[in-house]
């Protein structure tokens, strides 16, 4: 019998997020939802206020928590480590969660519960959740303060959405949040795929992890969990990783990589790349990449 780990029930977790980013209640066009403002203030405050809010709004509701066993992250993270985990922190994240059942690791409700537990245990602060993609220079506390002072509907709504994504709540962008928009999940799945593919292709784990850097991983995750799903095949993904390692001297832009993945998916629809070995797919992908890169270079204005 599969061990059932504690998690927030998926529909309850989704509904919690929807209530926060639903139609904004406004007295006039310049006022943001008071509900959203209150949530931002709670995330800006100490953890006690945040935990009390989560308990009242979600966790104490009947049926909102399912499962019995808990898994806890044992290290305290700085805000920068939470946003951009260094390699040693990524390893801790991987080793903490690697042995869980696949269904658990795919669950937004599981990761949401992990984040609440991390805040409860003092591993992170609620304000960390508000940091955006420019979090290298702007803290979550600053981003919340900036949004509240602006009293701008869109700015406040976007900050609430960022907090929800940082908690692995699917309301803003759907269930694929677990693979990309959610910082802990992004670190975990990079290591997961790197370990998995190191046993499929002739590249070491460390080499694959280097290929799947911040830019490339984003393109992979976006396409892998969209309609462009052919790269979820180990043979296709393996071919793409082999090509990127071979071409590592010439860094692709994220948009170039996405276009290559799109063309690979189109080719796979009639050539069944999923059943070809990774080395054969590497050659196919190299040819596709050449057409993309050559066309891009021709578009550049003459110097």
DSSP code, position 112: H
pLDDT one-digit tens code per residue, 36-56: 999 999 999 999 999 999 999
* SS3 at position 8: strand
What does residue 24 show for φ and ψ, rounded to 5 degrees?
A: -75, 125
Question: Residue ranges per domain, the chain?
Answer: 7-175, 199-299
pLDDT band at 115 (very low <50, low <70, confident <90, very high): very high
Q: In angstroms, what is the C-alpha Rg of the chain?
A: 21
User: Which tokens go with 86?
Assistant: 């260094």
Asked if 64 contacts 8 with a C-beta cutoff of 8 angstroms, the reply is yes
> At residue 28, does pLDDT exceed 50?
no
Q: What integer pLDDT is reported at residue 230 of this predicted model?
A: 67
Angle at 55 between CA 39 and CA 58, to 5 degrees: 80
Q: How many CB atoms lie within 10 A of CB 246?
A: 13
CA pair distance 12, 234, nearest whole angstrom: 34
- Which residue shows structure tokens 């059932």? 4
> At residue 293, does pLDDT exceed 50?
yes
């Amino acid at each position: 019998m599969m061990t059932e780990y504690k998690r927030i029930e998926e529909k309850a977790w989704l509904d919690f997020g929807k209530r926060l980013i639903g139609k904004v209640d406004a007295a006039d066009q310049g006022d943001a939802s008071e509900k959203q403002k209150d949530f931002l203030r709670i995330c800006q405050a100490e953890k006690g206020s945040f935990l009390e809010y989560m308990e009242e709004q979600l966790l104490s509701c009947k049926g909102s928590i399912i499962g019995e066993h808990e898994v806890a992250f044992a290290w305290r993270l700085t805000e920068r480590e939470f946003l951009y985990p260094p390699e040693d922190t990524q390893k801790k994240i991987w080793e903490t969660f690697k042995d869980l059942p696949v269904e658990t690791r795919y669950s937004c409700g599981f990761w949401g519960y992990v984040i609440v537990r991390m805040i409860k245990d003092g591993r992170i602060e609620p304000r960390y959740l508000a940091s955006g993609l420019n979090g290298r220079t702007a803290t979550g506390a600053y981003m919340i303060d900036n949004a509240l002072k602006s009293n701008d509907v869109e700015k406040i709504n976007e900050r609430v959405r960022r907090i929800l994504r940082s908690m692995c709540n699917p309301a803003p962008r759907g269930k694929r949040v677990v693979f990309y928009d959610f910082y802990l999940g992004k670190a975990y799945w990079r290591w997961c795929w790197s370990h998995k593919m190191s046993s499929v292709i002739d590249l070491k784990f460390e080499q694959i992890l280097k290929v799947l850097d911040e830019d490339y991983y984003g393109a992979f995750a976006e396409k892998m969990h969209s309609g462009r799903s052919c790269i979820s095949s180990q043979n296709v993904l393996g071919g793409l990783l082999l090509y990127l390692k071979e071409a590592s001297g010439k860094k692709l832009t994220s948009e170039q990589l996405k276009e290559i993945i799109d063309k690979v998916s189109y080719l796979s629809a009639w050539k069944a790349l999923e059943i070809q070995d990774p080395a054969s797919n590497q050659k196919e992908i190299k040819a596709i990449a050449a057409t993309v890169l050559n066309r891009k270079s021709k578009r550049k204005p003459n110097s």
